Amino acid sequence: MKIVFAAKGHEYLIEALSELGEVIVFDSENDNDFGSEADVLIVASSPMVDLTLLEKFPSLKALVRVGSGFDNIDIDALKERNIKFIRVPEGNRDSVAEHTLLLITGLLRKINKAIVKGFEKPWDREGVVGNELKGKVVGIVGYGNVGWEVAQRLVSLGCIVNTWDPYRKFNPVPGVGNVPYEELLALSDIISFHIQDVNNGYLFDFDHLEKVKRGVLIVNTSRGNVVNTRALIQGLRSGVIGGLAIDVIEGEPNSQFIDELKTFDNVIATPHVAGHSYEAYEKMKELVVRKIKYTLSNLML
């Protein structure tokens, strides 16, 4: 089996993949012809997998997307070429869910200000009195693998949780409500985005600033293009948004918005690391290898 590895940032997988066959690291700037006999292509949030890229891999049988998102995958192009699509959203869902709670509690307890003051002498607690999580109304946008994990954690911590998802309507966690999107916006003290692929533009834009509670906290650990960053900045300036925590942003990793966001002391930003933990790495290894074996063995039947 020949495997082409193009999942930058997930190099921990290479050793495990080597047990399946020859692994070649893909370099889009100098790819030569090594993809011509590839059976499997491994990608992450990049590169863009479209017909142009797939033409480099005429023998491809399976595409693996490390993680849960698929906004860089042309699903129709895969179907047209009869290429099996493998995802592993369950691999890092616990990691992302825990990171989400970290961001939520960080906003509530004004952790940015507290950390700065913690390294000053004498200690000064002025301006760093925060709020408790218990009893807060949390709206979860996107109720897939991560949304479900976040919901069950928040319910156990005493939150009132509502969800909205255009693709899923079930509520397997007792105590979790399912409401229309505008109702979720109006009710929530905290709104957390966990939706991966929306083809209808931003889910949060300038007009949504008029539909949320003043002082609402916004958290995004899904995809940067789910929300309009300019709208978020306007909301922060006006006080409509009381705090923002992001692990993803439009235009990452060199987003034009970073310099502006870092001027706010109620903004927390992490560099798309929510799904990165040593435990998640181990789960990813096991899942990717197992799913490749299963998919290719079925193709041979």
Q: What is the mean pLDDT of residues 116-141?
A: 95
Q: Are residues 181 and 247 in the same domain?
A: yes
The pLDDT value recorded for residue 167 is 83
Tens digits of per-residue pLDDT, 2-52? 999 999 889 999 999 999 999 998 876 555 566 678 999 999 888 889 998
Q: Would you say how long the chain is, in residues?
A: 301
Phi, psi of 101 (to 5 degrees): -65, -35
Q: Are residues 16 and 98 in the same domain?
A: no
DSSP-assigned letter for residue 31: -
Strands 84-87 and 176-178: unpaired
d(CA 18, CA 277): 22
Q: Are residues 193 and 263 in the same domain?
A: yes
Q: Are residues 83 and 223 in the same domain?
A: no
HSE of 202 in the Cβ direction (CA atoms, 13 Å)? 16
d(CA 58, CA 81): 9
Both tokens of 19, joined, read 């047990």
HSE of 291 in the Cβ direction (CA atoms, 13 Å)? 21
> Domain containing 294: what range?
2-88+278-299
Q: What percent of the chain has pLDDT over 90?
A: 81
H helical segments located in the chain: 14-18, 51-54, 75-80, 93-108, 111-118, 145-156, 181-187, 229-238, 258-261, 278-299
Q: Are residues 103 and 193 in the same domain?
A: yes
d(CA 257, CA 123): 32
Cis peptide before 253 (omega within 30 of 0): yes
DSSP-assigned letter for residue 275: T
pTM of the predicted structure, to 2 decimals: 0.91
Number of domains making up the chain: 2
- Residues annotated as catalytic (active site), given as ranges: 223, 252, 272
Q: What is the mean pLDDT of residues 203-224?
A: 97
Q: Are residues 234 and 283 in the same domain?
A: no
**Domain containing residue 181: CATH number:** 3.40.50.720
SS3 state of residue 226: helix
Q: What is the mean pLDDT of residues 227-231?
A: 97
Beta carbons of 40 and 3 less than 8 angstroms apart: yes
The pLDDT value recorded for residue 13 is 94
d(CA 280, CA 149): 14
Asked if residue 301 has pLDDT above 70, the reply is no
The pLDDT value recorded for residue 281 is 94
Q: Are residues 202 and 139 in the same domain?
A: yes
Tens digits of per-residue pLDDT, 171-206? 677 889 999 999 999 999 999 999 976 566 899 999
Tens digits of per-residue pLDDT, 157-166? 999 999 999 8
SS3 state of residue 130: coil
Cβ-proximal residues to 270 (8 Å cutoff; 6+ apart), any chain: 99, 103, 246, 247
Number of other residues whose CB lies within 10 A of the CB of residue 84: 17
The pLDDT value recorded for residue 32 is 56
Q: Are residues 288 and 232 in the same domain?
A: no
Q: Are residues 110 and 227 in the same domain?
A: yes
Tens digits of per-residue pLDDT, 234-280? 999 999 999 999 999 999 999 999 999 999 999 999 999 999 999 99
For the chain, report the end-to-end CA distance as a whole number of angstroms. 16
- Averaged confidence pLDDT in the chain: 92
Q: Are residues 110 and 41 in the same domain?
A: no
The residue type found at 93 is R
Q: Are residues 133 and 249 in the same domain?
A: yes
Q: Are residues 264 and 148 in the same domain?
A: yes
The pLDDT value recorded for residue 166 is 87
